[in-house]
Amino acid sequence: MKKTPPFHLAIPVDDLSKAVDFYENVLGCVPGRKSSHWADYNFFGHQLVVHVDPSHNSKKHHNEVDGKSVPVPHFGVVLPWDDFDVFANKLDDCEQIEFIIAPYLKFEGLSGEQKTLFFYDPAGNALEFKSFKNIDQLFAT
């Protein structure tokens, strides 16, 4: 099986110190290089870079999906099925996390059955974490 290469994502933040605190201390991401204007992280095996943009305005837009108001744009990772609940419980116990969409199971018993949750980082970037009961259905139609 071919190993999936990590993605690289750079996102704007209005306050680097708040972003550093959030990604390191709340989400537990391992820091990499940083400067006074940016910092990069091991984001669950992928490279995430937060770049200071003092004019960053997180204009919020939502689309209805499965009866929920899903923020657009958003990003995140697909966690292993058994790891999702541990991660969701950790976030639920964290005072800095306010779920936009609390952890729930969608498409139960159907192709693509998955657990998902959404929240914002301090700069207003929306994150989604999800898990598929059967990872082979990640791209199922």
pLDDT at 1 (0 to 100): 60
Residue type, 52: V
Tens of pLDDT, residues 1-45: 678 899 999 999 999 999 999 999 999 999 999 999 999 999 999
Give the helix, strand, coil percentages of the chain, each rounded to 5: 20, 45, 40
DSSP string, 78-130: EPPHHHHHHHHHHHHT-TT--EEEEEEEESTTSTT-EEEEEEE-TTS-EEEEE
Tens of pLDDT, residues 33-53: 999 999 999 999 999 999 999
pLDDT at 61 (0 to 100): 86
pLDDT at 66 (0 to 100): 83
CATH 3.10.180.10 fits 8-51+70-137, yes or no: yes
